Amino acid sequence: MSKLLAFLGLVLMGHAAISVGQFRGIMKERGEADFNIPFDIILECLVGMVIASFGYIIGLNPYEDISSDSSLSAKPIEALLYRPGFYSRVSRRFGYFEDE
């Protein structure tokens, strides 16, 4: 759905761009230098932009909970007590390791 909306919005904006190009071409043929882009083309461009933005945003993943409460409670105790700077050798394992 989000991709469809985004695509639709882009199509509308593309169409508005092509319309502006065609309008400029017609105005040049008539020899009119000063012209304003018609309101309907501007409206189409803006509506296309809104639809494309909306479609893109609703397609994003839901926000993750970044509160420190949620992330800390999920960590194991050893992670919370981890003090890598004060590493000390666990000497009780000495002599118990056998390489298979």
Partner 1 sequence: MEGINSSTDAAEMSFGELRKTLRKFRENGTRNATVTYKLGKYMCDNYSSKLGNEVWDVYEQMFFACIDLGINDIGLSYLRQIKEQFPESKRVYRLIGVLHEADGELAEAEELYKEMLEENPGDAAMTKRLISMYKTNGKTVEAVKLLVSYLETYKCDNEAWLELAELYLSEYEYEKAAYCFEELILISPANYLYHQRYAEVRYTIGGAENYLISKMHFCQAARLSGNSSNRALLGLVTVCETLRGLKGVTTEDKESCFKLVKWAKEKLTDKYEKSKVEVSDACPKKNSPKMTDHIDSGLETVCAILDSVKL
14-40 burial: b if 16+ Cβ within 10 Å, else e:
eebeebbeeeeeeeeeeeeeeeeeeee
C-alpha 18/C-alpha 11 separation (Å) is 10
- The site that binds partner 1 (CB under 8 A) totals a number of residues, namely 28
Which one, 2 or 71, has the nearer CB to partner 1? 71
Rounded least distance, CB 64 to partner 1, Å: 16
Choices 12-20, 24-32, 40-48, 73-81 (CB under 8 A): range interacting with partner 1: 73-81
Residues of the shown chain interacting with partner 1 in the complex, contacts defined by CB under 8 A: 67-69, 72-73, 75-91, 93-97, 99
